[in-house]
Amino acid sequence: MADWLTGMKRDPRARWLGVALVALALGVLPFVVGAAGGRGWVRIVDFALLYVMLALGLNIVVGFAGLLDLGYIAFYAVGAYLYALLASPHFGVHLPFWVLLPLGASVAGVFGVLLGAPTLKLRGDYLAIVTLGFGEIIRIFLNNLNAPVNITNGPQGVNMIDPIAFGGFSLGHTHRIMGIEVPSVHLYYYLFLALALSVILISLRLENSRIGRAWVAIREDEIAAKSMGINTRNIKLLAFAMGATFGGVAGGLFAGFQGFVSPESFILMESIVVLCMVVLGGMGHIPGVILGAVLLAAMPELFRHTIVPLQRELFGRIVVDPEVVRMLLFGLALVLVMLFRPAGIWPSTTRKRELAS
């Protein structure tokens, strides 16, 4: 099996064929999913792609650089609210997507630097606590900044956010392209797919770059990395800013897609969910993280279709909320994975080698 795989990797024709097949599969995926399970499932696929972006962003911070960030969702919130406020009737401002995407990314990045600067000189534990607090603070501000000047509209959130549009081509409603009817969720799927692929590409290129190697060096031994001439503080800040940037982009997409944002979407548990995706999939291993994100993003739906009917069958009513079951499993999984499979369900070969020796 392994021989067959490496053989295929070596043969360029087989490789291109593989890429073409994957591209075709990803291209028709929304139509297949839509035909099989309805548009609700296409929506779930869209969200899975958003989570892939988020998980890869957090992977840079936690997986590559080894900095535990427990408030990652705050950057997602910054991106989402920025989009929501600058493209909705709330302020009457309607900036185009082309302006908002880089703006959201850079504002989130600046927040990342602001948060990282005071704490990155210190030990990792402090960073974990400060980011935890930061996530909560952002939520408290979003919740309360509706008085005396109404900025965030408080707990009600901002609604009627403009759908993402390119010039006159809005993704918010169904289009007819070459005789095929393409609904809004499908259009968002292609946009998210394109951005998720670029995030994957950036991650892959970063991993083996000078910066990526510096991150891994810091993760493994900060003092040794420093003595090799790595400016650890700046490189750590860069990891933090980069992760935040990805979060900000995903947040903007979320706001445009959903059409509505409220502080409820950015609670601590969301940060934990993204952390679970990274840890379970395999910290620092990009395919593992993608797998983790897709699996965990699909989990609530899966539970809704298994645990709820199962409980109805057994007890005649819903005894345990599937959401609680999910969080219980997440907590348990974090503990068990760290104890028995610290490199995740799909670890990178180097980590596997390190842990085996």
Residue 143: CB minimum distance to another protein, A: 8
Tell me if 74 contacts another protein by CB under 8 A. Answer: no
Q: Does 332 sit near another protein (CB under 8 A)?
A: yes
Interaction between residue 68 and another protein (CB under 8 A): yes
Site for another protein in 183-242 (CB under 8 A): 222-223
Measuring CA to CA, which residue among 270, 241, 211 is closest to residue 107? 241
First to last CA, the chain: 24
What's the sign of the alpha-carbon dihedral 214, 224, 229, 115? positive
Is residue 142 a contact partner of residue 263, using CB atoms and an 8 Å limit?
A: yes
Pairing of strands 260-261, 180-182: unpaired
List CB contacts of 11: < 8 A, sequence separation 6 or more: none
Among 41, 47, 134, 189, binds another protein (CB under 8 A): 134
Among 38, 40, 89, 118, contact with another protein (rule: CB under 8 A): 118
Residue type present at position 349: T
Length of the chain in residues, anyone? 357
Distance separating alpha carbons of residues 142 and 81, to the nearest angstrom: 9
**Closest approach of another protein to the CB of residue 128, in Å:** 6
Residue 274 in contact with another protein, rule: CB under 8 A: no
Which of these ranges, 94-102, 163-171, 202-210, 329-337, lies near another protein under the rule CB under 8 A? 329-337
**Position 310 contacts another protein (CB under 8 A):** no
DSSP labels, 125-138: HHHHHHHHHHHHHH
Question: SS3 for 176?
Answer: strand
What minimum distance in Å lies between the beta carbon of 221 and another protein? 8
Candidate list 320, 341, 350, 353; residue touching another protein; CB under 8 A: 320
Contact footprint for another protein (CB under 8 A) = 62, 66, 68, 70, 118-119, 121-126, 128-130, 132-134, 136-137, 140-141, 144, 147-148, 222-223, 268, 272, 275, 279, 283, 320, 324, 327-328, 330-335, 338-339, 342
